[in-house]
A and B are shown apart, each in its own frame.
Chain A
Amino acid sequence: MPFLIENIIRVVFVLFVIILLGNFVIIGLAITRRQRREKYFQRIDTLRAEFRPVVARLVAGRMDYQEGLNRLKGISGPDRFYLWEQLLLEKRPSSVEEPILRQLCEDLGLVRTWQNRLSGRVDRPSVREAIARPEGVIERVGRLRFLIRAKSAENLGIIRHRASWPLLVKALNDPYPDLQSVASRAIAAIREPESFLALVAQLHKVVLDASSTALSLRSVKSALVSFPLENASGLLASLRHPNRRIRFLATDIIREMVSREAEGDENYELDRKILGTELVETCLEQLPFDENPDVRARSTGVICFLSDPRSAPVLLTLLRDSAWFVRLHAVRALARRKFLPQAVQIGPALSDPNWRVREAAVTTLRIFGSAGLAQLTDHFVNTEDVYSQEQVADVFQRAGLIPELLRRYAAADDSQAPQVLAQLARLGKTSYMLSVLTNNAEPDLRKKFLLGFGRHPDPQIQAWVGQVAASETDLEIRSMARAAMAGRSLAGER
């Protein structure tokens, strides 16, 4: 037994020494690593500081191109490639900077190297070289080279190197998931029309045989959406595909492309020159009647931009669809000023059984400006549908319309304002208006409100009147509040 114990003690002691040494080794490693990094990056930072102004002047056109190129070529050392990458791709170039940067990348041999690397031809450094710089280990270890290849694909995308698109398309089927993902993004950045179809093929793959690709649906969609609308006809086959999900995704991608193009342009119109006759006809004649409600819903986002007399009737038909989200998308699509003549037909959506449709209908009418707002307030004061009333009240508050409503009430330039306020009070939606009255209101408004609503049974109004009666400094207003309270008490006694 003592012999066994002695052995155990010996083993545990050795273990302790090893672990303790492990501690010191790790501490040493961390410190050495920091020292080496600092030393390495001091050199890099010095060079960066020296050459950053050169690149800045070059891309701004304030320096002779050849002179700048020669200066950059003058950088020596094993890390000059890394440094060029750092200097040229430090931030994403603007459209003005892009051509010069692209030319520089080509002339410095970066493009050729990136292309080689993307194709799998990575130079294997010696052990000494590998240790000397951060990228060295990755270049040396075969299994890690995908990192370099992916970075090369990314770089080609950043400078939008058009001629590299076939290599990138090939990378979409690379066994490394990172390569596939980066390649799809780079293709999206370059936007070469011929590569659009390769991405469409990936979309089909993701839907029909997800195991054959590592790309996510969102990644492919995001890449396709980046292309100009002129490429949308490449999705025609997908719009007619027997798989309902592919039809839906294709429709949604076109919708996203259109909304990106239309962003910021209220009067944006799509014509046959952009989309092509076949696609326009598909959008108007096939998609709104697809058996998949998702397709019908997403088609509205394209139809609303078409300058075709059929677009409004089609959207109004979809506004009566059996699926609530189709109605939702239809009412959202109608939120363009050109559909103002259809405002009356949007009215019934304010009483839709689904609250999201009701909410969208309110928002749509608001976008129509004063005419839409008039219709909305008219509906609000006249409808018997409490859900609809609540929805309108909700949007009135969220959109910050209450102060304006109170202003109109005070100025008496809107005959509906008192009715709207009365309806809000009846619904108990008085917090916002009372907040306005408490914090910012003119004395005339408060007087008028006290006269009109001072005796209203809403508990919040009662509390506010009580507060005014107790602490208001304006004697006239205070006496009005007291009168309102007295009147209410009398009414209560009766």
Chain B
Amino acid sequence: MEEWRQIFIHGMDMFNVVIVAYFFLGNGMYTVLMVFSLASVWLHNRRLAYQGLDELRESPVTPPVTVIIPAWNEQEIITQTADSILRTDYPGVEVIVVDDGSTDHTLQRLMDYFHLVKMDLIYRPRLSTRPVRGFYMNPRIPNLLVISKENGGKPDALNVGINMARTPYFCTLDSDSILEHDALLRLMRPVVRSPINLVASGGIVRILNGCRVEKGRVVSVSLPQSRLERFQVVEYLRSFLFGRTGWNLLGGTMIVSGAFAIFHRETVLELGGFEHDTVTEDMDLIVQIHHWAVRHHRKVGMCFTSDPVCWTECPSTVRMLQKQRRRWQLGLCQTLWKHSEMLFNREYGNVGMLGFPFHLYVEALGAAAEFLGYFMVPLAFLFNMVPPLLYLLFVLVSLAYGGLLSVGAVLLEELTYRRYPSFRELGTLLFFAFLENVGYRQMVLYFRFEGVVRFFAGFRQWEKVTHVGAGQ
């Protein structure tokens, strides 16, 4: 018995070391990202004063872009989304909506709204996909094409869109999203201005819930009413303004949100399109591009910019949030596993030496470690291995640091874009940023832990998050 007790105590000791290491490693890296992002976003914001969007809009050199919107059972919002893209401020935008075998009235709503007729167009698939059922167009809106196909998942729908796209660049957009009128132009700005070939460009995704939408445009920005959604606003700010910007500056970009991103079509075709073996096809594609660039000795770039805004609906119920976060975590694990040879591989530069290890140890496995920590550390306390005061203080430090990162994200927003105009909303944001680490963080951590468990259990299914049309 004493022997087992010793083994247990030893195991607990080891675990506590892991937890402490995770705490310092993770938070240390977050601090670095925070400092870098603060400088980078502030500087970027100042540079917007001479961005030259007018010239970009009028230049014949600005390449046309096809926006691909995959949709599955999105009857509530699909027309609003497509309409908003058709009204977007970009020279030469084409829109392809891919109805991925919806079982609701997604296709019918599109047909009715845009007066589409079925056409038997030529389909030349360079990427293999599930069969296409039909093409729908209105000759008076030649830049809109709706494709109906058999259900094959989001990557398959995107691949159909890529097959039908004619432009050198395409933009992936979630069907529950609304672009700001000049978001595409802003997203293409780094592509046009970069001296190296930029093959992917991502923008910021913000929460639509609570905002007022008219004719496919966000006309007034405000915070959502529900606490769950407000927490997500803070989370998105932290993730996009800190995480993505920081990694972009460090040259370790591994995620460009597929909800709103531009890709170079030929590069994606060369890679074989979006693959089906992970549930986060956007991250998988970015990592694949890194692979491809190293293998083929191509000098290409990927960037994240914080001023092109895409408004998206966030889950409004705990159940939907659970599905979303579980999937994200599962996809993260799948992608990292699939490309594991990049780990600490110097060939991949900062992606291999910094980005990949961080995402693996802190974002993927760290979720499991932190979650288990909530149970194991009290056990250690029960077994008299850690003094209760130390345990309590450690938990408080962890929560306070989480709060620091969140309020830091709100400060960054305040220093730069200030999308939430009223003083009251700023106060609310700060309040929720401070509170986020008590309750909400643990709940999301549990969902992420579920994602990790599902990964080890071999789960591969996409989980649909239902949207209700959050923009009022």
Q: Is A9 an interface residue (CB 8 A)?
A: yes
0/1 interface trace, chain A 11-26, chain B, CB 8 Å (1 if under): 0110110011011001
A192 at the interface (CB under 8 A from B): no
Q: Please tell me if the beta carbons of B52 and A225 are within 8 angstroms of each other in the complex.
A: no
Q: Does A428 contact B (CB under 8 A)?
A: yes
Judged by a CB distance under 8 angstroms, whether A151 is at the interface is yes
**Closest partner residue, chain A, to B198 (CB atom):** A216
Q: Which residue of A lies closest to B393 (CB)?
A: A12
Judging by beta carbons under 8 Å apart, are A12 and B394 in contact? yes
22 contacts between A and B (CB under 8 A): A5-B387, A9-B390, A12-B394, A16-B393, A19-B397, A27-B430, A31-B430, A33-B414, A34-B418, A34-B426, A138-B46, A210-B195, A215-B195, A217-B195, A218-B62, A222-B59, A225-B60, A256-B60, A259-B60, A431-B117, A432-B119, A436-B117
Would A19 and B401 count as touching, CB distance under 8 A?
yes
Contact B414 A34 (CB under 8 A): yes
**Which of A19, A154, A260 is within 8 Å of B52, CB to CB?**
A154
Instruction: Report A486 CB to chain B, min CB distance, Å.
Output: 27
Q: Complex: how many Å from CA A210 to CA B197?
A: 12
Structural contact, B400 and A178, CB atoms closer than 8 A: no
16 additional contacts (CB under 8 A) given A260-B60, A355-B122? A12-B397, A16-B396, A23-B400, A151-B49, A153-B50, A154-B50, A188-B55, A210-B195, A213-B195, A216-B192, A218-B193, A221-B61, A393-B120, A394-B122, A398-B119, A398-B139
Contact of B121 among A178, A260, A397 (CB under 8 A): A397
Q: Is B408 an interface residue (CB 8 A)?
A: yes
Contact check, B407 vs A147: say whether CB atoms are below 8 A apart: no
Given the known A-B contacts A398-B137, A399-B139, are A30 and B50 also in contact in the complex, defined by CB atoms under 8 Å?
A: no
Residues in A lying within 8 Å of B, measured CB to CB = 5, 8-9, 12-13, 15-16, 19-20, 22-23, 26-27, 29-31, 33-35, 37-38, 92, 138, 144, 147, 150-151, 153-154, 178, 181-182, 185, 188-189, 206, 210, 213-219, 221-222, 225-226, 256, 259-260, 355, 390-391, 393-394, 397-400, 427-432, 435-436
Which chain B residue shows the least CB distance to A397?
B119
A322 to B59 alpha-carbon distance, docked (Å): 31
The answer to whether A222 and B55 have CB atoms under 8 Å apart is yes
Are B404 and A22 in contact, CB atoms less than 8 angstroms apart? Answer: yes
In-complex Cβ contact of B390 among A8, A22, A33, A154 (8 A): A8
Least CB distance, A30 to chain B, in whole angstroms: 5
**Chain B stretch 374-431: residues in CB contact (< 8 A) with chain A:** 387, 389-390, 393-394, 396-397, 400-401, 403-404, 407-408, 410-411, 414-415, 418, 423, 426-427, 430
Cα A174 to Cα B201 with chains together (Å): 27
Residue B236 CB within 8 A of the other chain: no
The answer for the CA separation of A467 and B13 in the assembled complex, in Å, is: 76
* Interface pairs A-B: 6 shortest CB-CB: A400-B139, A154-B50, A431-B118, A222-B61, A222-B59, A429-B120
Q: How far is the CB of A324 from chain B (nearest CB, A)?
A: 15
Give Cα distance in the complex from A154 to B371, angstroms: 52
CA separation between A33 and B414, bound complex, in Å?
8
Whether B195 lies near A27 (C-beta < 8 A) is no
**Contacting pair A432 B411 (CB below 8 A):** no
* Any A CB within 8 A of the CB of B134: yes
Instruction: Specify which of B195, B387, B397, B400 is in contact with A206 (CB 8 Å cutoff).
Output: B195
Q: B142 at interface (Cβ–Cβ under 8 A)?
A: yes
Which B residues between 263 and 286 are near A, CB-CB below 8 angstroms?
none
- A271 and B354 CA atoms in complex are apart in Å by 60
CB–CB A15/B387 < 8 A: no
Classify the interface of chain A: helix, strand, loop or mixed. Answer: helix
| B interface residues, Cβ below 8 angstroms from A | 43, 46-47, 49-50, 52, 54-56, 59-62, 117-122, 124, 134, 137, 139-140, 142, 192-195, 387, 389-390, 393-394, 396-397, 400-401, 403-404, 407-408, 410-411, 414-415, 418, 423, 426-427, 430, 434
B400 touches A19 (CB 8 A): yes
Q: How far is the CA of A92 from the CA of B124 in the complex (A)?
A: 44
Q: Is the CB of B193 within 8 A of A219?
A: yes
On whether the beta carbons of B50 and A23 are closer than 8 Å, the reply is no
| Closest residue of A by beta carbon distance from B60 | A256
- Bound together, the chains give a CA A260 to CA B61 distance in angstroms of 11
Of the candidates B389, B411, B434, the one having the most CB atoms from chain A within 10 angstroms of its own CB is B411
A288 to chain B minimum Cβ distance, whole angstroms, is: 22
Partner of A400, one of B140, B415, B423: B140
The answer to whether B408 and A26 touch across the interface, beta carbons within 8 angstroms, is yes
Residues of A within 8 A of B407 (CB): 23, 26-27, 30
State in angstroms the CA–CA spacing of A31 and B47 once bound together. 24
Q: How far is the CB of A239 from chain B (nearest CB, A)?
A: 19
User: Is A222 within 8 A of B117, CB to CB?
Assistant: no
Q: What residue in chain A is nearest B55 (Cβ atoms)?
A: A185
Decide yes or no: A431 and B120 within 8 Å by CB, A151-B50, A216-B194, A218-B61 being known contacts. Answer: yes
Selected from A35, A92, A221, A435, the residue in CB contact (under 8 A) with B118 is A435
Measured between beta carbons, the chain B residues less than 8 angstroms from A27 are: 407, 430, 434
CB-defined contacts of A427 to chain B, threshold 8 Å: 120
Closest approach, in angstroms, between the C-beta of A475 and any C-beta of chain B? Answer: 27
* B119 touching A33, Cβ below 8 Å: no
- Report A206 CB to chain B, min CB distance, Å: 7
Contacts of A31 in B (CB 8 A): 426-427, 430
Could you tell me the distance in whole angstroms from the C-beta of A45 to the nearest C-beta in chain B? 13
Neighbouring B residues of A29 by C-beta, 8 Å: 411
Contact B192–A219 (Cβ < 8 Å): yes
Output the least CB separation between B384 and chain A (Å): 12
* Option from B46, B121, B414, B418 in Cβ contact (under 8 Å) with A147: B46
Looking at the assembled complex, report how far the CB atom of B390 sits from the nearest CB atom of chain A, in whole angstroms: 5
Cβ–Cβ < 8 Å partners of B52 in chain A? 154, 181-182, 185
Q: A189: which B residues are within 8 A, CB to CB?
A: 55
Tell me the smallest distance from the CB of A420 to a CB of chain B, in Å: 14
Q: Given the complex of chains A and B, what is the CA–CA distance between A26 and B407 in angstroms?
A: 7
| Chain A, Cβ-Cβ closest to B119 | A397
Q: How far is the CA of A399 from the CA of B121 in the complex (A)?
A: 12
Contact B426 A30 (CB under 8 A): yes
CB distance from B61 to the nearest CB of A (A): 4
Chain A residues, CB < 8 A from B414: 30, 33-34
Which residue of chain A has the shortest Cβ distance to B46 in the bound complex?
A147
Q: In the complex, what's the smallest C-beta–C-beta distance from B34 to chain A, in angstroms?
A: 10
Q: How far is the CA of A19 from the CA of B404 in the complex (A)?
A: 7
- Please indicate the chain B residues that have their CB under 8 angstroms from the CB of A178 in the complex: 47, 50
Chain A residues in 8 Å Cβ range of B400: 16, 19-20, 23
- How many whole Å from B50's CB to the nearest CB in chain A? 4
Determine the chain A residues whose CB is within 8 A of the CB of B430 once the complex forms. Answer: 27, 30-31
Q: Which residues of A contact B47 (CB under 8 A)?
A: 147, 150, 178
Q: Which residues of A contact B415 (CB under 8 A)?
A: 33
**Other-chain contact of A397, B50, B120, B403 (Cβ < 8 Å):** B120
List residues of chain B with CB within 8 A of the CB of A216.
Answer: 192-195
How far is it, in angstroms, between the C-alpha of A150 and the C-alpha of B118 when the chains are bound? Answer: 51
Complex alpha-carbon distance, A355 and B126, angstroms: 14
Return A27 CB to nearest CB of chain B, in Å: 5
User: In the complex, which residue of chain B has the Cβ closest to the Cβ of A438?
Assistant: B117
CB-based contact B393/A13 at 8 Å = yes
**Cα-based distance from A185 to B142 in the complex (angstroms):** 32
The interface residues of chain B lying within 8 Å CB-to-CB of A260 are: 60
Complex CA gap A189/B58 in Å reads: 12
With a CB–CB cut-off of 8 A, which chain B residues contact A210? Answer: 195
